[in-house]
Structure 1
Amino acid sequence: MPHIRSLTAAALFLVGTGAFASGPGENHGGEAYLDGGVFTYDVFEQSVDHVDLENCPTEFDPDVVFCRMTLASEMANIFVFAFDGDQPLLAVKSYELGEDFLPF
């Protein structure tokens, strides 16, 4: 059954706990600190293996957002980013893998 995951949980999962050991502005070799806790598309693009999607799930406005997908833990995870500004992550929608896992 599709569900929306907490953005905080998604950010912790994707960035990992090591990024929280130091503070913003510190660089010890490749870390990407989240400015104000915002997970942007730039950080996602560089750090998460994914595929670009031509369309997002139907509940999201295609004029406002774009989507990317990852596969992990037998789930298809759709990451929804805003076109505006620094392109922040707005939502993560997950689907169980199966015959109809991408209904959009």
Structure 2
Amino acid sequence: MKRLSLISLLSITLATSALASGADDKAHSGDTTFLPDGAFTYEVFEASVEHADLEGCPKQFDTDVVFCRITLASDQAHIFVFSYEGDQPLMAVKPYDLTDGFLPF
């Protein structure tokens, strides 16, 4: 199965949230997950994106308030940064080229 690029994944996420209609989202049934207020939460990520857990995050992020996961797609590693707060929303995505020593943390 061909993997979606990060841009495609985020585009689909945004398009899905644009199609959802606020409070009525829960009325939809089936396998579709609607994203309240367009928030891509860790719960949705965990269930739908193949990834690996990381013990740390890039140095620019405070691991007391966020946690990170990694995916591989389009010849890059992508670090997904999630908040510990609330529904654990996605806060940032940081790409790295796949080269020796590509994870500098």
Identity %: 50
Off by >4 Å, runs of 4+ in structure 1 = 16-22
Structure 2: distance between partners of 1:39 and 1:18: 11
Residue matched to 1:90: 91
Relative to its length, the structure with more helix (as a share) is 2
Q: What does residue 55 of structure 2 align with?
A: 54
1:12 aligns with 2:11: yes
Matched, 1:34 2:35: yes
Q: Show structure 1 runs of 5+ residues with no match.
A: 1-7
For 2:9 and 2:44, the matched residues in 1 are separated by 13
Instruction: Tell me what 2:103 maps to.
Output: 102
> RCO (CA 8 Å, sep 6+): is it higher in 1 or 2?
1
Aligned partner letter, 1:11 = L
Distance in 2 separating the partners of 1:25 and 1:102: 39
- Counterpart CA distance in 2 for 1:49 and 1:27 is 25
TM (norm. structure 2) is 0.79
Asked if structure 2 preserves the Cα contact closer than 8 Å seen for 1:19 and 1:32, the reply is: no
Inter-CA distance 53–22: structure 2 relative to 1 (3 Å threshold): same
Does the 8 A contact of 1:19 with 1:31 survive in 2?
no
TM-score by length of 1: 0.80
CA offset digits 1:16-65 (Å, max 9, x no partner) = 85675554234342111110011100000000000000000010001000
> What is the CA RMSD across the aligned residues, in angstroms?
2.3
Instruction: Give the match for residue 71 of structure 2.
Output: 70
What is the count of residue pairs matched by the alignment? Answer: 96
